[in-house]
Structure 1
Amino acid sequence: MNNNYYCIIMAGGMGRRFWPYSRKALPKQFLDFFGTGQTMLQQTYERYKQIISPENIYITTHTDYRDIVLKLLPEVRENQLIIEEERRNTAPSIAYAAHVIQKINPDATMIVTPSDNIILKPEAFKEAMLKGLDFASKSDKLVNIGIKPTYPETGYGYIQIDEEEESDFHKIKTFIEKPAKEFAEMFIESNEFYWNTGIFIWHVETILKAFHDMMPDICPRVECDVPDFRACPNSSIDTRILEKADNVYVQACDFGWADIGTWNSLYDNMPKDTEKNVIIDSNTLLYDCKNNIIQLPKDKLAVIQGLEGYLIAEQGNALLICKKDDQQAMRKFVNDVEMKFGEEYL
């Protein structure tokens, strides 16, 4: 393995879109959604161990989750954790991670990845990542991994490519976040759009230059031994860097990718019974029920009649029953819970 190759796994989010199964104390990256015996973080770590030397894999996470990460990944040493005292979205987090890696190895080329992806073709994935690392290590390009869409998914971001092309690498024309269905259908027909995986590859000096050019205000706050995340803006890498830079390329890939970011995306990627219900490791008796997703504690039984298109999820002291396709309503529910009851039920 190339000792100049590094990986940053982002595992600091609270997973609110999976409430109440995902809770603030134990968010989705630390859960075993698929009954495989491995959490999403563990699956992600094992995937990148096939590409990157284990000592070059770093985990960014919130200070609350330090012990959880170390318990789940016993191979990872504490100095491989990049701890955030405050959550300020992906831009400050990645800027600080790049600073940490640059101090260790100024010749580093790094993959930055979420911890909640499904990859169905591991060999194709490995080949694509190595190809992207090689490309980014020899150029001043910021690489965004893209997947050719197979259906008009409205929960993913899309990337439109320009005509300029270098093998599987296309200059990015524009980013579009979670379009309406009619637009997603048009994107697929145009053959110019890719799903945005949120997986990035770049040389450490290339991304740090982008931060100095476009977010100089945060650089002194994160380019230090003790970063001041509290003083950083709440900004995503997409809106503050990638959508503005002129050296961003999409790498066109096909490795069976899915983003498990919402209950809907989980439903789409889980096995279903004859009535299209998804039952997640739960005891249920269903009568005249279709297109539902159900997740319950192992010591509970649910007997349900006549529901179609619902989410039923219970964890700890919270139970949610709502239409499974209404993502906007789910966000409102979680916000309302926080406003009325504080963090007791989050």
Structure 2
Amino acid sequence: MQKKPYIVIMAGGIGSRFWPYSRNGRPKQFLDILGTGRTLLQMTYDRFIKLSDKYMFYVVTFKEYLNIVQDQLPDVPAEQILTEPLRRNTATCVAYASYRIFQKDPEAKLIVTPADHLIIQEKSFYSTMEIALQAAELDDRLITLGIRPNRPETGYGYIQYISNHGNPVKKVKTFTEKPNIKLAKTFVESGDFVWNSGMFVWKANSIIKAFEKYMPDVAEAFEEGLTHFGKPDEEEFTRKAYSLVKNISIDYGIMEKADEVYTVLGDFGWSDLGSWLSLHETKEKDDLGNVVDANAVLYETKNCYVKVSPEKLVVIEGLENFLVTESENVLLICKLNGEKKFREFVSEAKKKGEDYV
């Protein structure tokens, strides 16, 4: 019987594209975005506990979110909630968890997942993950889950794979980060591109070899940690390590460069819930494409997302493809697909006062 995998949940993001509902002090992964009674982080834990055991979970998060993670995931051992002193993107996050787990179990196999994804068809997801876990048995293989696209989407990265009929494990040919709409249409029409889900499977030893080859500065920083992990000076060590490495994603730092990268194709009702638009796509809509989470009266309004406290009556006339939402002390009205402007929105709001972000 194969050993169960370790589960690494990346939970340190700030969720700025879900502002103003998502705030710096409590980003979207800690919110009940879907109205299920469980936060996105808790739903991720619930999904993966069926594949592993609670003592095999590691959560990597920003230092200020430690108490939130402990409150929301009380079954995860406290020493396995790894806090980042600085935000350094996913490559550093993955390195910290991988070296930490490797120190404990050199034969470990890891599933790395963001904390804020939606997966609707869990049975199909588990079947896909089982194929990925088996594929990762071979040394040096780095496996990513690829999602079959159902539309040209500019908000996701794309993976081009080499077709080998009958084998669900495909050799990766290229990675492309968030293309323009013309290129996205070309990718979807070609049939040999999938969305990059941001979920990975590999042996701890395989990803560490990749760090040593493609990101030697990160490898050097964290190899030293093997003598500090679990010791009183671990926090001091991580501060030093994070100060020495660049802000870079695992895709750009390793996956785009490595030779032994494979993708397992999946179709299990996936969304990265990266924006209000992606959430709008998952929600039940009225006959005109509106998602209404409010006490609202709409006139000549189509394809909008309205989320306002039920204590207020919202009357809207003549809007199309708009987001209307309020949270605490902020009312936001903008284009539903205007996620590229959100950094600017948040930056300007911060100038008005810290309590708006």
Corresponding residue for 1:198? 198
Deviation at 1:298, TM superposition (A): 5.0
Q: Which amino acid aligns with 1:275?
A: L
* Aligned amino acid, residue 277 of structure 1: N
The Cα shift of 1:165 comes to: 7.3
Determine the structure 2 residue equivalent to 1:37: 37
Say yes or no: does 1:242 pair with 2:236: no
Match runs of 1:128-143 below 5 Å:
128-143=128-143
SS for the counterpart of 1:217 is helix
- Per the alignment, residue 51 of structure 1 pairs with 51
Counterpart in the other structure of 2:80: 80
| Distance in 2 (alpha carbons) for counterparts of 1:249 and 1:130 | 14
Cα distance between partner residues in 2 of 1:104 and 1:299: 52
Residue deviations 1:255-276 (CA, integer Å, cap 9, x gap): 2211100111111111111221
**Cα displacement string for residues 97-119 of structure 1 (whole angstroms, at most 9, x for unaligned residues):** 10111011110110100112111
Maintained 8 Å contact 2:157/2:178: yes
* Cα displacement string for residues 118-177 of structure 1 (whole angstroms, at most 9, x for unaligned residues): 111111111211221122023321001001111112211110112467821111111111
* Counterpart-to-counterpart distance in 2, 1:300 and 1:30: 25
- The worse-fitting range, judged by mean Cα deviation, of 218-227 and 265-274 is 218-227
TM-score (norm 2): 0.91
Query: How much has 1:328 moved relative to structure 2?
Result: 2.1
Residue in 2 that maps onto 1:21: 21
Q: Identify which range, 164-173 or 127-136, moves more after superposition.
A: 164-173
Aligned: 1:341 with 2:349: no
For 1:6 and 1:85, the matched residues in 2 are separated by 23
> Letter of the aligned partner of 1:80 in structure 2?
Q
Amino acid at match of 1:88: R
Q: Deviations over 1:268-304 (max 9, x none)?
A: 1111112211123x33232332111122245444222
Q: Indicate if the aligned counterparts of 1:165 and 1:171 stay in contact, CA closer than 8 A.
A: no
Query: Which stretch has the larger CA shift, 40-49 or 293-302?
Result: 293-302
**Aligned ranges 1:68-147 → 2 under 5 Å:** 68-147=68-147
CA distance in 1, matches of 2:100, 2:281: 37
Q: Give 1:16 shift.
A: 0.5
Q: Which amino acid aligns with 1:172?
A: V
Secondary structure class of the residue paired with 2:356: coil
What is the CA-CA distance between 1:82 and the residue it aligns to?
Answer: 1.3
1:175-204 deviation line (CA, Å, top 9, x unaligned): 111222222221111111011000001100
Query: Which sections of structure 1, spanning at least 5 residues, go unmatched?
Result: none
Say if 2:4 and 2:52, in contact at 8 Å, map to a contact too: no
Task: Work out the percentage of aligned pairs sharing the same amino acid.
Answer: 44
Q: Which residue of 313, 319, 328 corresponds with 1:307?
A: 319
- Between the aligned partners of 1:221 and 1:341, the Cα distance in structure 2 is 39
Letter in structure 2 aligned against 1:203: K
Measure the CA separation in 2 of the matches of 1:56 and 1:195: 28
Output the amino acid matched with 2:354: E
Give 1:317-328 correspondences, 5 Å limit. Answer: 317-328=329-340
Deviates more, 1:324-333 or 1:3-12: 324-333
**Alpha carbons of structure 1 residues 58 and 298: separation in structure 2 relative to 1, 3 Å:** farther
Q: Give the number of aligned pairs.
A: 344
Partner of 2:300: 288
Shift of 1:330: 2.5
The alpha carbon displacement at 1:342 in A equals: 5.8
Cα pair 2:4 2:51 within 8 Å, conserved: no
Q: Bigger shift: 167-176 or 7-16?
A: 167-176
SS of the counterpart of 1:344? helix
Residue aligned with 1:335, SS = helix
Instruction: Tell me if the contact between 2:304 and 2:320 (Cα under 8 Å) persists in the aligned partners.
Output: yes
C-alpha distance in 1 between matches for 2:164 and 2:140: 16
For residues 68-100 of structure 1, what are the alpha-carbon distances to aligned partners after superposition, in whole Å with 9 as ceiling and x for unaligned? 111111212212211111111001111011011
Which amino acid is 1:97 matched to? A
Distance 1:155 1:161, change over 3 A: same
Which stretch shows the higher mean deviation, 295-304 or 49-58?
A: 295-304
Matching residue's letter, 2:292:
I
8 Å Cα contact 1:51/1:130 also seen in 2:
no
Contact 1:154–1:178 (CA under 8 A) maintained in structure 2: yes
Cα displacement string for residues 12-36 of structure 1 (whole angstroms, at most 9, x for unaligned residues): 1010011111101111001111211
Secondary structure of 1:218's aligned partner: helix
Contact 1:160–1:174, Cα closer than 8 Å, also in 2: yes
Return 225-234 or 309-318, whichever deviates more: 225-234
Greater mean alpha carbon deviation, residues 96-105 or residues 224-233: 224-233
Amino acid at match of 2:128: A
CA shift in 2, pair 1:37/1:4, >3 Å: closer
Gaps of 5+ in 2: 229-236
